[in-house]
């Protein structure tokens, strides 16, 4: 059915581009598995909103490599519409939307699809548990996340991917949690703690070697699609990688995303994908994945702290008064 309230394309429908061969090339890995990518986070970039934040993963060396960009705006606490029933707590709703041009392959429509609804639900869950909802009865807190650009790996049919778990949605969700956490703090809404998102993955190299703490990076671009399943030597070369990226050249066997409150050492959200053995030579893959994701979230938390502190100091200088603000400054140095 066509959307009559928007301008639609030709009625015959259009097709996304077709390239002669699988021309998507994966970037080489230059990070060590425990290094997080740098994050650019800035608050208050949407002045009409009560609080807002912009998060970006800076583009790596090759400019054509996709990166992640999203903006968040927070409105509230504002009164619930009169039609809704009484609520003793604040109702937090989160809406995550991919922009039409944000994903590889087909253009995304404007109407929310299942993926977006699922991510929105998980996002509001992760945020809702960090906000002191009891402080704001009969109020609504609305969080809007717009994904402007993402790295792919969303499990879309047009995504070229041979095997493994799609980690793109998890990266988007984790970034959205971090960005929204910063935006909620920017809005001055009382929280138990700041929530940050983190992702960890168990990966297998396509055809390279994993050696101790470093991954050898001298491998051909785009090769190895055919022999990825070669030999079935699955359990030999598995590494835990923090903040895995769908653009990097490895097979992700399993991944976990968490929403984590570092100061309280508590989780607000757990989401895992892929099969994880319970007791594989003494180590539990589920536990190490969750721990890895928590470590990633702890790293992100430091960035959020800085962004909020910067903003707070700016505000204090402008107003010229010092208040006892709940910035969540305690325990922000709990790097695992």
Interface positions, 163-192, toward another protein (CB under 8 A): 163-165, 192
d(CA 153, CA 61): 20
| Helix, strand or coil, per DSSP, at residue 312 | helix
- Please report, as residue ranges, which positions from 84 to 103 form the binding site for another protein (by CB under 8 A): 85, 87-89, 95, 97, 99-103
Min separation Cβ 157 and another protein, Å:
3
Interface with another protein, residue 112, by CB under 8 A: yes
Q: How far is CA 61 from CA 28, 64, 99, 102, 223, in A?
A: 10, 9, 25, 20, 20
CA-CA distance, 122 to 270, in Å (whole number)?
9
Q: How far is the CB of 47 from another protein (least distance, A)?
A: 4
The verdict on whether omega for the bond into residue 77 sits within 30 degrees of 0, i.e. cis, is yes
* Binding residue for another protein, selected from 38, 79, 137, 158, defined by CB under 8 A: 158
Q: How far is CA 312 from CA 60, 176, 179, 188, 300, in A?
A: 30, 21, 16, 10, 18
For another protein, which is the closer residue by CB, 213 or 248?
Answer: 248
Q: How far is the CB of 14 from another protein (least distance, A)?
A: 4
- Residue 242's nearest CA partner among 196, 305, 183 is 196
Would you say 28 or 49 has its CB closer to another protein? Answer: 49
Spatial separation of the C-alpha atoms in residues 271 and 269, rounded to whole Å? 7
Shortest Å, Cβ 118 to another protein: 4
User: Could you tell me how many residues of this chain bind another protein (CB under 8 A)?
Assistant: 109
Q: How far is CA 91 from CA 50, 269, 325, in A?
A: 16, 18, 23
Q: Which 245-304 positions form the footprint of another protein (CB under 8 A)? A: 253, 256, 259-261, 264-278, 284, 286-287, 290-291, 294
**30, 58, 79, 117: which one contacts another protein (CB under 8 A)?**
117
CB of 26 to another protein, least distance (A): 14
The yes or no reply on residue 81 touching another protein (CB under 8 A) is no
The interface with another protein within residues 304-323 (CB under 8 A) comprises: none
Give the DSSP H or E segment for 214.
strand 214-215
Residue 7 is a binding residue for another protein (CB under 8 A): yes
Taking residues 42 to 61 in sequence order and writing x for each that binds another protein by CB under 8 A, - otherwise, the string is: ---xxxxx--x------x--
User: Smallest distance, Å, CB 330 to another protein?
Assistant: 16
Distance CA 233, CA 227 (A): 12
83-86's contacts with Cβ under 8 Å and 24+ in sequence apart are 86/138
Q: Which is nearer to another protein, 117 or 214 (CB)?
A: 117
């Amino acid at each position: 059915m066509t959307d009559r309230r928007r301008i639609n394309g030709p009625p015959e429908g259009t097709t996304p581009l077709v390239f002669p061969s699988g021309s998507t090339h994966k970037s080489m890995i230059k990070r060590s598995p425990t290094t997080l990518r740098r994050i650019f986070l800035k608050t208050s970039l949407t002045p009409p909103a009560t609080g807002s934040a912009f998060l970006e993963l800076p583009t790596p060396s090759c400019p054509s490599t996709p990166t992640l960009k999203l903006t968040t705006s927070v409105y509230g606490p504002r009164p619930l519409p009169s039609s809704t029933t009484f609520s003793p707590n604040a109702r937090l709703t989160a809406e995550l939307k991919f922009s039409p041009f944000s994903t590889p392959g087909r253009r995304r429509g404007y109407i929310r699809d299942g993926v977006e609804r699922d991510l929105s639900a998980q996002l509001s869950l992760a945020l809702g548990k960090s906000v002191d909802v009891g402080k704001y009865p009969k109020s609504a807190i609305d969080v809007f996340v717009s994904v402007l650009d993402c790295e792919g790996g969303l499990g879309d049919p047009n995504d070229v991917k041979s095997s493994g778990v799609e980690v793109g949605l998890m990266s988007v969700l984790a970034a959205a949690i971090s960005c929204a956490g910063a935006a909620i703090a920017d809005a001055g809404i009382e929280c138990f703690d700041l929530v940050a998102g983190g992702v960890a993955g168990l990966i297998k190299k396509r055809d390279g070697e994993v050696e101790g703490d470093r991954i050898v990076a001298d491998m051909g671009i785009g090769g190895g699609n055919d022999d990825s399943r070669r030999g079935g030597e699955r359990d030999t070369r598995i590494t835990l990688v923090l903040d895995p990226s769908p653009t990097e050249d490895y097979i992700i066997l399993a991944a976990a995303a968490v929403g984590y409150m570092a100061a309280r050492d508590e989780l607000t959200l757990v989401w895992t994908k892929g099969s994880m053995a319970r007791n594989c030579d003494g180590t539990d893959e589920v536990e190490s994945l969750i721990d890895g994701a928590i470590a990633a979230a702890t790293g992100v938390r430091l960035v959020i702290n800085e962004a909020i502190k910067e903003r707070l100091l700016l505000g204090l200088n402008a107003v010229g008064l010092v208040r006892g603000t709940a910035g969540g400054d305690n325990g922000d140095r709990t790097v695992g």
